Structure 1
Amino acid sequence: MATTVYDFDWPDRFVVGTVGVPGRRTFFLQVRAGRDLLSVSLEKQQAAALAERIDEVLDSLMAENGNRYSIPVGTPGELDDADPLDEPVDDLFRAGTMSLGWDPATAQIVIEAYAIVEIDAEEFTGSLDDIDVTPEAVLRVRLPVGGARAFAKRARDMVAAGRPACSRCGEPMAGDHGCERPETFR
């Protein structure tokens, strides 16, 4: 099976956003270029890890060779994006593996999200070597450094906008949160 690659070079918008209420949110990567709009669902932890790694890569490049790529320390104000996701939010696929790279020729961060490959264990009778793990689709987005900083900031904001953490155990608070850890006194 051939993989369909959805390439977005210099998109108009690339963000992490959510649909639903805290505790029941679905996270999405959403990219728009002109009239083309594509959404991919992902896990909250994937969004958090992606934001963290983007900042790590940019910070590393910024410290290297006197910041020859003009990487901003923070998010340029004009790139701040607090708008909701564009409608319709229909996920093309659910992201499984993700990759992050740097293209020095264009000074862009390259993000790839691969569709989850599902295997029906009940129908599988061969050896592990016979499994086709080629994803049906890949989303590839190339972002300039300022856009990458803005993407990472928004992703962190989306992750943090969930349920507050319990002061005792650190787990998300829910209506039925019954923390087993005793309160510590100082």
Structure 2
Amino acid sequence: MPTRVHEFDWPDRVVIGTVGLPGARTFYLQVRAGKQMVSIALEKQQSSLLAEKIDEILDQLITVEGNPFSVPKGTPVELVDNEPLEEPHEQFRTGAMSLGWDPSTAQVVIEAYPMADDDPDEEPLEAEAAEFAEMMVVRMPVGAARAFAKRTREIVAAGRPMCELCGYPIDPEGHTCTPPEA
């Protein structure tokens, strides 16, 4: 089965956003180029790690002598996107992701694959059929990648506050924690 690739080489918009209340939010990676838009669901931890790793790549590139890729140290103000998600229609729920750098275009590259079906009642798939039915590839210039990482960190941090004693989120209904033993 051929893989359907949702590919965005120079997207108009790449954002992480959420739907729902803290504690029950669904995170989406939403990409739009012209009239083509794809929204994929992912976990909060995936969102956070994605932002962290993008910043790591960009910070490493800044140290290259002469900063040949013009990587900004901070987020360019003109690229800040605080708008809400457009109505997300989940294309797939993200399982594996990869992150890379394309020096030929000076772009950060995100690849996202759907979660694998782990139904124990199903027969094992043959090697050829085990390929993913679809995936998403997003290429972002360095300034857009820096703005994406900043927004993502803010979205992740906007959730439930963390308990200072146990480190778990505090629900609006209350919180019972057991502090770790010293």
Please, what TM-score do these two structures have when normalized by structure 1? 0.92
Q: 1:183 to 1:81 in 2, by over 3 A?
A: farther
- Whether 2:159 is the aligned partner of 1:162: answer yes
Q: Which amino acid aligns with 2:121?
A: E
Confirm or deny that 1:97 pairs with 2:99.
Answer: no
Q: Is the alpha carbon distance of 1:32 and 1:129 closer, same or farther for their aligned partners in structure 2, counting shifts above 3 Å?
A: closer
Structure 1 contact 117–133 (Cα < 8 Å) conserved:
no
CA apart distance, 1:130: 5.5
Instruction: Note the C-alpha offset of 1:123.
Output: 2.7
Work out the CA distance in 2 between the residues paired with 1:63 and 1:77: 22
Amino acid at match of 2:119: D
- Structure 1 residue runs of 5 or longer lacking an equivalent are none
- Assess, with a 3 A threshold, how the Cα gap between structure 1 residues 131 and 2 changes in structure 2: closer, same or farther: closer
Tell me the CA shift for residue 104 of structure 1: 0.5
Counterpart of 2:131?
Answer: 134
Q: What does residue 12 of structure 1 align with?
A: 12
Q: Taking structure 2 as the reference length, what is the TM-score of the superposition?
A: 0.94
The residue that corresponds to 1:31 in the other structure is: 31
1:133 offset after TM fit, Å?
A: 3.2
Cα RMSD (Å) = 1.8
The code of the aligned residue for 1:98 comes to M
- Which stretches in structure 2 are left out of the alignment for 5+ residues? none
Q: Distance in 1 between matches of 2:167 and 2:45?
A: 15
Count of residue pairs the alignment pairs up:
181
Q: Distance in 1 between matches of 2:62 and 2:150?
A: 17
Contact 1:102 1:109 in 2 (8 A): yes
Return structure 1 stretches of 4+ with deviation > 2 angstroms. Answer: 128-133
Mean CA deviation greater in 128-137 or 52-61: 128-137
Q: Give the structure 2 partner of residue 106 of structure 1.
A: 105
The alpha-carbon distance between structure 1 residues 182 and 143, as it changes in their structure 2 partners (threshold 3 A), is closer
Residues in 2 aligned to 1:13 and 1:131: alpha-carbon distance in whole angstroms: 34
Task: Give the deviation of 1:92 after TM superposition.
Answer: 0.4
Which whole-Å CA distance do the structure 2 matches of 1:149 and 1:182 have between them? 36
